[in-house]
Structure 1
């Protein structure tokens, strides 16, 4: 590999040529009307631009270049420059635009239909039309294979929800910004919900107004991009327009009258220099109020769980039927800043850059500590800490509600240099990114008995310890406890260097070669003493010193790719990649893909097969902490998450983590058989070996090393999995109906197989004690807790100044096996259809008013018990047993709507949004 790279570099830099010309022109339709936003691309390169509002463009190209000019709804034209410096181009209406795809291949860009890989392309207007307040939720209602989970128990998860493509977890989808790797979040999901034990990039913070389009590659791409691309790649392409700026004021509220949202954003740009240089910037501020959806708590379940008198529980619940709980959508404040730009240099070269900074402040809550849970008998001082209006307790003590407050700072930036030297496209870049999350807990206390050292007091000043002069130890906490804590947090950052070189060698062959160096750093930030000492703050314990610190690694990778157009219709692509990590060694992966066009290019057959890998994240290797969690039938308990390099791991014989490996296969067909109609159908199969999972909670050995812990969990390469399914996209647009135009889009994902392949790889400690790191709950979280089928049917109608959209999203059945649930039962969520309505009114060329009603019919998640066998049916026939089982999985109905695991559409019900947009 090193010799090959050296040879290519020598060849590239020994054949420099600067033969270029500056051209300008206009793009119009047959009625001589300008076409703003038309794509103008130098064939065989990524050098291109778009026309301005008057249909004008300017571009520096090589002598002898051919321009590829395209616009939605018009036939694409190839226009030879032939030495001309001014071009007037007329496009004829024709088949739907073959959009340019840059994601999934390292060789020069191709059109969407000629790509050998399945790629979804979503424009910013489509995202905005969903009416969703964040980028990840907008994708939820545009891409069937994309899912994000609403979690009813927030803690750190309130800062960002887990997301995934094709049921593979957030760790297996790689996020790019303008083709460059975005940093991971520092958050490790540890709640019992989909995404448990994984981490992903924070895409919820990306301002939608800064996005030009999204390209989602639904295929394994580790060979092209490295780790994390097992399930696919999402490339977020930023706006590169220095004109057509806009300002937007938006507001929203739920159908229940809470969750008020107010936001304002500005997107604008400026031209830099005489060429195609530009800067585009976006500023976005928003605040969303709390939306609370508590359940009605069951008194008998509470009395049984907490050993309390039923009368005391009933008295409290008569005043607070929800037991004081607050769960739903927390109060969130966000500020987002993003800039994208480029500066033209001489010789068809440019410097490009982008940078973003996101700040989020989230105020959420732990479970309410009721007066029969944290009693005045056990903790008399609570009457002074949290006075209330309970007539049965001194000081009116009525329990307390600990807060969980999070501050998130996420930043990323890239600076790069591109040039075309003697037909070689060269791209050199450096990317920086990081994510820090700091937490605070208020209205809580440290209830643990921790004594200060005894102190000698020399009362008679004789310098000798006399009887009675050694003072007694005092309580550090309990009655002396603070009620506010700094439990620390986490931080992650990376620095990535890329060199990418590509060239179209002939009409048939294009090649690409490149290298990447990446260094990563993960920090566990120590909490203050009171937050962890003796057990720490009630609700969320801080990071202990021995569990905190900085952890880092680096890796070096290189790839080589070749595209061979065997004929004008048949394409073959091959890519190989080698990577070396400082902490676990080397890996080698490859990919082969092809496509065949026929019937005058109206139909395309495509297929790919590849191997892939995912390196364990630093979060998974080094995270260790005590954590509060809900244990059915026992309430909140303190468990321990131990890492794989700790003394505790050695005691249990837990092996160190190694990389996951995958094999991907995709085959499909895409077609545009006639004007305005297109469809794609793709089958996929993903097999993952040595999948890394966060184990279920296991009972530890009875040794001092595990004193005070009800259970332990850890990361382990535990299972092999196989996943297969079908993706379908059908589009039929621009149908003339009356004075307007009607469009339809149907897209869907159906999971054929998603299951464990073979036995669980249990460490000896678990095997010998009759336990397993993967139980029925874990199996459900991996394989059945996402909709098996998801379909989106969208309809649009444009008439005069109005634009209407109606989307129906079908969420198929999901199955849970919650922790503590009787093994003879399962929980099924009923399939639901969520309907969204959007209305846009273009007042004039500048002003647009948009109204969106999301979840128009207030559809909420519904679940029911199903029997696995006759024993399960016997339970369902007994209402008393059903109630017991229901209480187990909902914490006595605190989370009755979604259970303790979350679901894929909001528990908030209807949401109404109104926005006002002004175009400069």
Structure 2
């Protein structure tokens, strides 16, 4: 019995020694807890991770070694021995990089260990630009990112088109904390970059709510789904609970207009007994109108409007800009955002974020001069618009006012069990835009349906008996009966304010993402996404569309309005393997199934190799991608006003691909775009202060969706195309079509050298650039048969310029910053390279070139106390403005340029007689407002 007891005691002791529980807390060098640290029992698959408070617990064998690893921190190994409590501090600092949440669907990595080119912009980099909105801040920080305000805005005044690598706004996916942000309800239809596309409203995101921005400059459809052909922008929200701030900003242009004032508050708080956090931002702003009209040419006006030159000159003497207002519209915005998380238990977290934005924009159409809308043609205008100094009619200026509401929210649950990481979330978001047109009228000659008798032929008798009026030998029913319609329904009876309707978009997204570190070398991730989308075209009031509708912006007709929806399901699998300490391979596959156009299968393979003690890295990726046609592109149908060179403002029609008109014209339904992306690059991190990356990219897109040019009638006038135009009283028609295969390639360069000791301060340099090697059509335009047979094309020279040359061929940003004592100075020079354009209506023998320019921004900040900071930004300190010039394409073009009269005529054609003499609609690529002064005060608490 005694022997048995000794054996039993020995077995129990050995079991106890074989397994022991180790607990502890993991912090960084500042003592802050680190959640999500991976703890692995070395040589096994046994693992755990730290909770929100940095605490962990793991059962290990006696004599085990624990490996503590966290991306962006130094990995640490600790021998357990007899210890049951092991607290660990992981080294962090400037020499290490933040964890990147974008780029891999397995477990996150740091920038140096990623196999993909990723830009990381901390919040202070965005605020240092002095730009009012997030999208404009990116313009002066990311060379491959471009956005600009168009001179005549309409609906585009609510948000500006942006793009990465010349690929248009719809091919960059926007994420917030890793979750898809909703698209805008706006479809760009004007002749400007981004025509025919839509994108998320990134200008709506308050800059003070952003912790950092991660921009993946590589195709990522396999990882994230549609819209990621050009890359992914992941906006990480602030989660700080210890440091809040209030910021007051003011600004003005050197011309004394465009005054701005803004106030923002960002703060945070813990939830419960340090069980979680909540961080919130309130941002209120107002920007006044900045007007930059041109001096209008009288001869061009007289010719275009068939007006007496004396009348034109008399008006322009009083109003050299012809009354036009174009530039930067008046904008007011209110933005609210909250981000938070709650630690349910040691291994589980509930997280959430939500944002709401309201914007009000007041902008203007082109001024209707008295020789354009004449009092002789419309006598009632003298009563409608007595705008002259003595109450006489001198024309009128229609307004365009827009109200934008944008919201998004995510709630999710993360948990870890047996080394598996689970993330389940629901995201919703929407964008609505409602428009108003004031100070206009409906000039159509639609009459009221009531009728009365009248003596048409003035024979003294109202003829009630049918008679052979046309002398064809036959009396047709009611022929010769003299019945007249009632009064004009509009014209002198027209309202001057209209509700043209608007658009709405919303989506709901469900995600489940699962990842696991199988070993120290291999991690996997897989998941699924279900998404529903609804696009709504809101009907305008009757007067806004009846007949010709409101003069300047016609409303949405009932037959073109309605709700349209679809759903899609996607699933992916991702594996990341460190073949060796230096050699990484990452692969992803994805399958998507859309309810309206079918399935898409895409893949991605990327790799990275480090050598010379991690100082040099080479990386490469190859992938396929897709972009689903948006609901906006499938269902939008409307009449729209646009400037036609030499013809003034004309009404054209946009027909959708599921309409009877589309079937009549044999226009095919839209299919998904397909892409092939290749990226090859290398990086050098010589020490903690010197970094350099160089990446080559090549993007091929098949079946690219474009909004066609305006297709006009044929000379014969008897084709189905002519019939559609005649039946709908349209001068032309446009539509969406998978018309192009394109090829885009270029290089991205990013370099920095910081912490150089100069005097008693530190100096830093940064250089980043993008150079486009090729951006062109690959093969012939894919014209529908009917259009080709009519001798026309859906893509003309203007369209090609919009797609391929309307953005700078190269853009470079050279930044310098110097910190000394309580002061900080920054000087940034942004070089905008050449842009070429082929405006519609100009001679085929000419093209326009926008001259390369350097825009210089100066920033000064002063830390008055530990809590109070003043910042002065002078953007475009040298007052550089966009400039363009004609270039001859051949000898005939040279002859035009040698004749001042012809040059003036060509210039009038593309600037609407110099209304936009500083720029045209199409090719300029930085602000026309000149120097801007911005002063801000930030108080931390």
TM range (shorter): over 0.9
**1:591 and 1:791 mapped to 2: Cα distance?**
29
- Report the alpha carbon displacement of residue 66 of structure 1 after superposing the two structures with TM: 4.5
Q: Tell me the SS of whatever aligns to 1:716.
A: strand
Gaps of 5+ in 2: 1-19, 41-46, 61-65, 454-462, 466-480, 714-720
Question: Does the alignment pair 1:777 with 2:777?
Answer: no
8 Å CA contact retained: 2:26, 2:50: no
Q: 1:569 aligns with which of 551, 557, 582?
A: 582
8 Å CA contact retained: 1:69, 1:78: no
**2:90 and 2:590 mapped to 1: Cα distance?**
43
Question: Does the alignment pair 1:268 with 2:264?
Answer: no
Q: 1:719 aligns with which of 737, 740, 755?
A: 740
> For residue 555 of structure 1, what is the aligned residue in structure 2?
568
1:69-127 C-alpha deviation (Å, 9 max, x unpaired): 788xxx8453659577674738487x732221120210111111110000000000000
Change (3 A) 1:36 1:745: farther
User: Which structure has the greater CA radius of gyration?
Assistant: 2
Question: Does the alignment pair 1:912 with 2:913?
Answer: no
> For residue 227 of structure 1, what is the aligned residue in structure 2?
226
> For residue 649 of structure 2, what is the aligned residue in structure 1?
636
> For residue 11 of structure 1, what is the aligned residue in structure 2?
none
**1:229 and 1:827 mapped to 2: Cα distance?**
32
Change (3 A) 1:746 1:40: farther
1:155-202 C-alpha deviation (Å, 9 max, x unpaired): 000000000000000000000000000000000000101100000000
> For residue 752 of structure 2, what is the aligned residue in structure 1?
731
- Report the alpha carbon displacement of residue 46 of structure 1 after superposing the two structures with TM: 12
Change (3 A) 1:245 1:579: same
8 Å CA contact retained: 1:41, 1:48: yes
Change (3 A) 1:658 1:157: same
Question: Does the alignment pair 1:452 with 2:448?
Answer: yes
Change (3 A) 1:27 1:440: same
Question: Does the alignment pair 1:758 with 2:756?
Answer: no
> For residue 848 of structure 1, what is the aligned residue in structure 2?
869
**2:581 and 2:781 mapped to 1: Cα distance?**
48
TM-score (norm 1): 0.92
Question: Does the alignment pair 1:890 with 2:908?
Answer: no
Q: Tell me the SS of whatever aligns to 1:396.
A: coil
Q: 2:600 aligns with which of 587, 593, 605?
A: 587
Change (3 A) 1:718 1:100: same
Q: Tell me the SS of whatever aligns to 1:534.
A: coil
Q: Tell me the SS of whatever aligns to 1:143.
A: coil
Q: 2:542 aligns with which of 508, 513, 529?
A: 529
Change (3 A) 1:168 1:680: same
Q: 1:669 aligns with which of 673, 677, 682?
A: 682
- Report the alpha carbon displacement of residue 736 of structure 1 after superposing the two structures with TM: 1.0
**1:20 and 1:627 mapped to 2: Cα distance?**
72
Q: 1:830 aligns with which of 847, 851, 861?
A: 851
1:658-681 C-alpha deviation (Å, 9 max, x unpaired): 000000000100111123101100
Q: Tell me the SS of whatever aligns to 1:475.
A: coil
Question: Does the alignment pair 1:370 with 2:391?
Answer: no
- Report the alpha carbon displacement of residue 273 of structure 1 after superposing the two structures with TM: 2.7
- Report the alpha carbon displacement of residue 822 of structure 1 after superposing the two structures with TM: 0.5
**1:603 and 1:374 mapped to 2: Cα distance?**
68
**2:288 and 2:196 mapped to 1: Cα distance?**
29
Q: 1:436 aligns with which of 428, 432, 436?
A: 432
> For residue 507 of structure 2, what is the aligned residue in structure 1?
494
**1:70 and 1:196 mapped to 2: Cα distance?**
41
Q: After superposing the two structures, state which structure 1 stretch, 368-377 or 448-457, moved more.
A: 448-457
1:642-696 C-alpha deviation (Å, 9 max, x unpaired): 1001111111111100000000000100111123101100000000000000001
Question: Does the alignment pair 1:402 with 2:401?
Answer: no
Question: Does the alignment pair 1:650 with 2:663?
Answer: yes
**2:23 and 2:923 mapped to 1: Cα distance?**
56
Change (3 A) 1:37 1:350: closer
> For residue 281 of structure 1, what is the aligned residue in structure 2?
280
Change (3 A) 1:41 1:148: farther
Q: 2:834 aligns with which of 807, 813, 822?
A: 813
> For residue 698 of structure 1, what is the aligned residue in structure 2?
711
Q: Tell me the SS of whatever aligns to 2:311.
A: helix
- Report the alpha carbon displacement of residue 242 of structure 1 after superposing the two structures with TM: 1.4
8 Å CA contact retained: 2:364, 2:399: yes
Q: 1:516 aligns with which of 506, 529, 532?
A: 529
Q: After superposing the two structures, state which structure 1 stretch, 82-91 or 786-795, moved more.
A: 82-91
> For residue 407 of structure 2, what is the aligned residue in structure 1?
411
**2:188 and 2:742 mapped to 1: Cα distance?**
20
Change (3 A) 1:566 1:450: same
**2:285 and 2:607 mapped to 1: Cα distance?**
45
**1:69 and 1:102 mapped to 2: Cα distance?**
13
Q: After superposing the two structures, state which structure 1 stretch, 59-68 or 39-48, moved more.
A: 39-48
8 Å CA contact retained: 1:149, 1:902: no
1:136-165 C-alpha deviation (Å, 9 max, x unpaired): 000010111111122111000000000000
**1:39 and 1:744 mapped to 2: Cα distance?**
34
User: Which runs of structure 2 are paired with 1:87-166 in the superposition (5 Å)?
Assistant: 87=87, 89=89, 91=91, 96-166=95-165
8 Å CA contact retained: 1:294, 1:895: yes
Change (3 A) 1:60 1:317: farther
Q: Tell me the SS of whatever aligns to 2:782.
A: coil
8 Å CA contact retained: 2:218, 2:231: yes
> For residue 418 of structure 2, what is the aligned residue in structure 1?
422
Q: 2:693 aligns with which of 680, 703, 707?
A: 680
Q: 1:801 aligns with which of 822, 833, 845?
A: 822
Change (3 A) 1:205 1:62: farther
**1:99 and 1:158 mapped to 2: Cα distance?**
36
- Report the alpha carbon displacement of residue 738 of structure 1 after superposing the two structures with TM: 1.0
Aligned residues: 877
**2:242 and 2:57 mapped to 1: Cα distance?**
22
Q: After superposing the two structures, state which structure 1 stretch, 678-687 or 79-88, moved more.
A: 79-88
8 Å CA contact retained: 1:724, 1:752: yes
Question: Does the alignment pair 1:901 with 2:922?
Answer: yes
**1:859 and 1:383 mapped to 2: Cα distance?**
42
**1:779 and 1:466 mapped to 2: Cα distance?**
60
**1:195 and 1:222 mapped to 2: Cα distance?**
20
> For residue 243 of structure 2, what is the aligned residue in structure 1?
244
> For residue 197 of structure 1, what is the aligned residue in structure 2?
196
**1:46 and 1:581 mapped to 2: Cα distance?**
38
**1:20 and 1:327 mapped to 2: Cα distance?**
71
**2:367 and 2:642 mapped to 1: Cα distance?**
14
Q: Tell me the SS of whatever aligns to 1:702.
A: helix
**2:203 and 2:22 mapped to 1: Cα distance?**
42
Gaps of 5+ in 1: 1-18, 29-33, 51-56, 458-464
User: Which runs of structure 2 are paired with 1:37-56 in the superposition (5 Å)?
Assistant: 41-42=37-38
Q: Tell me the SS of whatever aligns to 2:547.
A: helix
Change (3 A) 1:652 1:841: same
8 Å CA contact retained: 2:48, 2:58: no
**2:208 and 2:51 mapped to 1: Cα distance?**
20
8 Å CA contact retained: 1:58, 1:276: no
- Report the alpha carbon displacement of residue 20 of structure 1 after superposing the two structures with TM: 9.7
**1:733 and 1:199 mapped to 2: Cα distance?**
39
> For residue 7 of structure 1, what is the aligned residue in structure 2?
none
